[in-house]
């Protein structure tokens, strides 16, 4: 089941459990999301604001499927929690270098989990006077939500399990897998 992901045998006490979303399913969904964005934004492309590091693979695929030339700036969000859960202490960096005023902003996230990260980012961006701001998240884990926030575009709703691959990591492991997996303790 794990196939070419065997090489990712783990340092930590976590191992890949099962494929949750296969790469072909991911690619098809990314195509659909790109079509939605193209329809919704028409001739007025948004500034893409992917959140490092988890969204790097997603935004690379998404951006190449968009029919327009959209500007793109990465922002980094650090949240001080454990390796598998975030906390309310969210620090955004990179935003100070980006002029978002009067622009259409599309935040690109890997996953909305507790919601703290996206809520903090949205608040900071809104203070800088964008024309509009929306959120696209590859994954949504609504069972874990602690604050009220909802992405405008969601790739997949996932169960309350820690997931890795396609940009998502566990302590910097598993990020470069092309499929999305659940993990379990060894």
- Residue 19 engages ligand IMP in binding (rule: CB under 6 A): no
Instruction: Give min distance, CB of 186 to ligand IMP, in A.
Output: 17
Residue from 20, 49, 75, 86 that binds ligand IMP (CB under 6 A)?
Answer: 86
| Region of 7-15, 40-48, 61-69, 162-170 interacting with ligand IMP (CB under 6 A) | 162-170
User: Within 10 Å of residue 19's Cβ, how many Cβ atoms?
Assistant: 18
Cα(48)–Cα(7) distance, integer angstroms: 33
Q: Least CB distance from residue 131 to ligand IMP, whole Å?
A: 25
| Shortest distance, position 158 Cβ to ligand IMP, whole Å | 7
Q: Should residue 117 be labelled a site residue for ligand IMP when binding is judged by CB under 6 A?
A: yes
Q: What is the distance between the alpha carbons of residues 124 and 133, in angstroms, rounded to a whole number? A: 11
Main-chain phi, psi angles of 79, to 5 degrees: -130, 135
Residue 167 binds ligand IMP (CB under 6 A): no
Q: Maximum CA pair distance of the chain?
A: 50
Order of strands across the sheet that contains 163-164: 14-21, 180-185, 163-164
Angstrom distance (rounded) from CA 92 to CA 90: 7
In the set 110, 113, 140, 179, the catalytic residue is 113
- Residue closer to ligand IMP by CB (options 47, 112) is 112
Residue 126 neighbours by CB distance under 10 Å: 13
Kindly state whether residue 116 participates in binding ligand IMP, applying the rule CB under 6 A. Answer: yes
Residue with smaller CB distance to ligand IMP, 75 or 112: 112
- What are the residues binding ligand IMP (CB under 6 A)? 54, 79, 86, 109-117, 162-164, 168
């Amino acid at each position: 089941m794990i196939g070419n992901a065997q090489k990712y045998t783990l340092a930590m006490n976590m191992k890949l459990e099962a494929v949750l979303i296969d790469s072909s399913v991911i690619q098809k969904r990314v195509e659909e999301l790109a079509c939605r964005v193209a329809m919704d934004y028409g001739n007025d492309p948004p500034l893409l604001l992917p959140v490092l590091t988890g969204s790097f693979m997603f935004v690379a695929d998404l951006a190449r499927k968009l029919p327009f030339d959209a500007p793109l700036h990465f922002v980094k969000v650090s949240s001080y929690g454990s390796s598998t859960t975030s906390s309310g202490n969210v620090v955004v960096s990179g935003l100070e270098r980006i002029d978002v005023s009067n622009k259409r902003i599309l935040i690109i996230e890997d996953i909305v989990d507790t919601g703290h990260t996206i809520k903090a980012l949205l608040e900071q961006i809104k203070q800088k006077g964008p024309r509009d701001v929306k959120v696209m998240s590859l994954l949504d884990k609504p069972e874990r939500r602690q604050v009220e926030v909802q992405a405008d575009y969601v790739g997949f709703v996932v169960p309350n399990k820690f997931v890795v691959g396609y940009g998502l990591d566990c302590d910097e492991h598993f990020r470069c897998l092309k499929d999305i997996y659940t993990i379990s303790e060894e």
